[in-house]
Amino acid sequence: MTTPASPTERKPNRLIHSTSPYLLQHAYNPVDWYEWNPEALTKAKTEDKLIIISIGYSSCHWCHVMERESFENNDLAALMNTYFVCIKVDREERPDIDQIYMDAVQSMGINGGWPLNVFLTPDQKPFYGGTYFPPKAWAQLLRNIHHAWQNRKSEINASADELTAAISANNLSRYLSADQEKQETTVALNTIYRNLEANFDYVWGGLQKAPKFIMPSIWLWLLRHHQLSGDQQALKHFTLTLTKILQGGIYDQLGGGFARYSVDGEWFAPHFEKMLYDNAQLLSLYAEAYQVTKDDSYKVVVYETVAWLEREMAHAEGGYYAALDADSEGIEGKYYCWTTHELEKLTEDERKFFCAYYGVTDSGNWEHGMNILYRTGNDEGFLNEQGIERQPWQEKLNRIKEKLLAVRSQRVRPGLDDKILTGWNAMTVIGLIDAYHAFSDDHFLTSAKKTIAFLKKELMNSTTCYRSFKEKRSATEGFLEDYAYLIKAFIKFYQADFNEEWLRQAEGLLEYTVTNFYDSTDGLFFYTSVKAEKLIARKKELFDNVIPSSNSVMAMNLYHLGIILDKQAWKSMAERMVDSLAELIQKEPNYMSNWAIAFTEIRTGLAEVVIVGNESMTYKNTLQKHYLPFALFMGTIQASELPLLKGKQTPENQTTLYVCRNNVCRQPVQDVPNALQQLLKKG
């Protein structure tokens, strides 16, 4: 019989000195945890002990379950402490470590996930692992592996060597196509579309699978495909997807912001954790959707999500926290769900309409009599069914939401992961700037500037950036993800206010990244800097997941900055990256969707919009309200030395717009409609 550790008996372990919220959650476990550091690795070698590396993150539900069941248990902790050196890793702080050992577990034929528990030899080589283990299975596994190490050490070392060799090999070559014949662009783009379309869910939107992740870059590409092809079916599925998502429980109907995924195929029941990286990308997605459709429900989503970020996720000095947990008071979703009894604070009339609008039932539409708020249909149908006018209903709905938000704010909040990650914050900056472009609302640009100022102050030192901040910055240098999104954010900033200092920042960071991350042998970037800690493998991130791969972002950075600064070498690097993956992009767009955006931009080309004169900002803002995904914006009031701005004149002090392609400009015009016509003209 195992015995849990009494809270009054617990003493802090080494993790008490960590800055990671996830590691701090384990600081009172009876397990003798180490962080990943030389002390732990040296101890394993000196004492010839196996290593347990346990990887998770603060808002991971099953991480909490395994901690409660196993890591807080005195007897199981004793087994771990006696036989192993135990290391805890926050995957968000050290994605480089997570990548390696996730690859190892998947190479064993085991599904990956978190918590990720991997057994290593004293020299860090993996030989066995898995995700969540129930307490009895964990105890038996600990004994079996210790016994095997005592009696079959040579077999374990041989297996670990073989697995390490497999995950250390640069196995990306099988995905790269050298010197392949270029397929005609329209044919290639149609192939991408057909391979995506084969998986469309035409009832609920998104892809036909459960659980359902939103995967923003898929829908961003689909909207670009519609723009180029005029395919109305593509637009129809795009709007179906975005509308079903915003109506579902995956969207916080009261407070704004999106959960990580829905456990079903209908966007109804979310896994309630909220991640900054999802919401950052969804600002961009819904802002672009509004530019195309002018659907006010998409605008509301952007404004509500930014309001949630600023209310619940913002550091006072700038920057946004990483995540909100799914659980509160040990129950998943408790903070967000409602019983009908809890709605009695509403008047009978308010309650009637609110329950009908959000699918609330007396017995509950989810577990334990609880209700997840979701919209049961479109507003037009609801208003007709209820016989009420839009304006009075909207005013009533806003009052009800304010009232219930006030009630909800008194509940025990989900745990907050209050570290600030450079890459995720740069993504948020990009989302805010995209919202600024769509709505011409200075508030979004002001918020973006406050965030980037925080990153520059706390997480950057000239052209070096660092991964995370919690009261102080971490010693870990940024990964390719951090550099890629910072560069993209600075390029976006320049196109928002034409301050050329943003370009200088982007240029310096890009040069640093090429010097320290680039592999000229295959034209791709390593995930870690050449100056980073040497692990058993140095990986490259290729496939787009919920977060697009850092290599695909770098391809676009090279291409965009290459155009703006007229650096052919950078454009050529981007073209090489995309060309080498063209076949894979077409065959597997579900996992290459951000690459598909880069592919589309490079194959179709980008317009260079140059605006010169006193009204350059006004003209730019008017243009950017339109959906123009294949245009880069440059401008100045006075003289500029940027290649495409140099020598551009403003006749009779009249603001002038030049629409150019490949450094060749069309007839200059002095009004936005003519410039827009040139931009949208085919050929």
CATH of the domain at 236: 1.50.10.20
Domain count, the chain: 4
pLDDT at residue 2, rounded to an integer: 46
148 contacts: CB under 8 Å, gap ≥ 6: 155, 156
- Which pLDDT does position 601 carry in this prediction? 98
**Would you place residue 1 in the very low, low, confident or very high pLDDT band (cuts 50, 70, 90)?**
very low
Task: Mark whether 600 and 613 lie in a shared domain.
Answer: no
Among candidate residues 134, 169, 204, the one where a domain is terminated: 169
Q: Are residues 671 and 636 in the same domain?
A: yes
3-class SS of residue 42 = helix
> Which tops the pLDDT comparison, 649 or 55?
55
User: Domain check: are 399 and 529 in the same one?
Assistant: no
Q: How far is CA 608 from the centre of its chain?
A: 28
Q: Looking at residue 648, what is its pLDDT?
A: 81
CATH number of the domain that residue 153 is part of: 3.40.30.10
Range 207-212 average pLDDT? 94
The pLDDT score that the predictor gives to residue 179 is 57
pLDDT over 90, % of the chain: 86
Cβ proximity of 365 and 371 under 8 Å: yes
Decide if 559 contacts 601 (C-beta within 8 A): yes
Average pLDDT, whole number, for the chain? 94
Q: What interhelical angle do 442-458 and 480-497 show, nearest 10?
A: 140
**Pairwise CA distance, residues 331 & 319, whole Å:** 29
> Residue 323 pLDDT more than 90?
yes
CA separation for the pair 203, 528 (Å, rounded): 42
Is 297 in contact with 379 (CB distance < 8 Å)? Answer: yes
Domain-located, residue 177: no
Q: Are residues 432 and 487 in the same domain?
A: yes
Could you tell me which residue, 385 or 504, shows the higher pLDDT?
504
Domain assignment present for 174: no
Assign 271 to helix, strand or coil.
strand
- Please report the pLDDT score of residue 168 as a whole number: 85
Kindly provide the residue ranges of all beta strands, DSSP E only, lying in 274-389, ordered along the sequence.
274-275, 323-324, 327-328, 331-332
- Asked if 539 and 435 sit in the same domain, the reply is yes
- Alpha carbons 172 and 542: distance in angstroms, whole number: 8
At residue 639 the predicted structure's pLDDT band, cuts being 50, 70 and 90, is confident
Tell me the residue type at 449: K
- Rounded Cα–Cα distance for residues 641 and 44 (Å): 58
What would the pLDDT profile of 436-493 be if each residue is shown by its tens digit?
999 999 999 999 999 999 999 999 999 999 999 998 999 999 999 999 999 999 999 9
Q: Please indicate, yes or no, whether residues 207 and 138 belong to a single structural domain of this protein.
A: no
**pLDDT confidence band for 171 (50 / 70 / 90):** low
300 in any annotated domain:
yes
Asked if residue 1 belongs to a domain, the reply is no
Final residue before a domain boundary, out of 169, 196, 224: 169
Percent of residues, the chain, with pLDDT higher than 70: 97
- 527 and 645, same domain (yes or no): no
d(CA 505, CA 455): 12
- Upstream peptide bond of 115 is cis (omega within 30 degrees of 0): yes
- Alpha-carbon distance of 215 to 205, in angstroms, equals 12
612 bridge partner residues: 636, 656
The side-by-side arrangement of strands in the sheet containing 270-271 is 212-213, 261-262, 270-271
Domain that holds residue 629: 607-680
Greater confidence (176 vs 516) lies with 516
Q: Is the pLDDT confidence value at 351 over 50?
A: yes
Q: Which tokens belong to 61?
A: 């539900």
pLDDT value for 148: 97
Rounded to two decimals, what is the model's pTM? 0.94
pLDDT tens for each residue of 363-396: 999 998 999 999 988 888 888 888 888 888 889 8
pLDDT for residue 587: 96
Q: Is the pLDDT of residue 211 over 60?
A: yes
477 inside domain: yes
Q: Domain check: are 632 and 589 in the same one?
A: no
pLDDT of residue 682: 62
Check whether 242 has a pLDDT greater than 80: yes
**Does residue 180 fall inside a structural domain?**
no
Judgement on whether residues 516 and 620 belong to the same structural domain of the protein? no
E-strand ranges in 49-172 read 50-56, 84-90, 116-120, 126-130
Average the pLDDT over 658-665 and give the result: 91
178 is a domain residue: no
User: In 230-325, which residue ranges form alpha helices assigned H by DSSP?
Assistant: 232-247, 276-293, 296-308
**Of the residues 545, 578, 604, which one is the last residue of a structural domain?**
604
Cβ-based neighbours of 92, under 8 Å, separated by 6 or more: 22, 57, 322, 323, 417, 419, 421, 468
Residue-wise pLDDT tens digits, 562-589: 999 999 999 999 999 999 999 999 999 9
Query: Do residues 478 and 545 share a domain?
Result: yes
What confidence score (pLDDT) does residue 180 get?
A: 61
The CA distance from 616 to 351, in Å, is 51
Whether the CB-CB separation of 189 and 221 falls below 8 Å is answered with: no
Buried b (16+ CB within 10 A) or exposed e, 83-118: bbbbbbbbbbbbbbbbbbbbbbbeeeeeeeebbbbb
Are the CB atoms for 593 and 581 separated by under 8 Å?
A: no
Task: Name 452's Cβ contacts closer than 8 Å, sequence gap at least 6.
Answer: 426, 429, 489, 490, 493
Same-domain check for residues 372 and 521? no
- Pick the more confident residue, 408 or 61: 408
Q: Evaluate whether residue 176 is within a structural domain.
A: no
Q: Are residues 14 and 148 in the same domain?
A: yes
The whole-number average pLDDT for the span 144-163 is: 96
**Could you give the angle at the alpha carbon of 116 between the alpha carbons of 272 and 62, nearest 5°?**
30
| Residue 605 CA: distances (Å) to CA of 229, 571, 650, 680 | 15, 11, 27, 13
In this prediction, residues 301-309 reach a mean pLDDT of 98
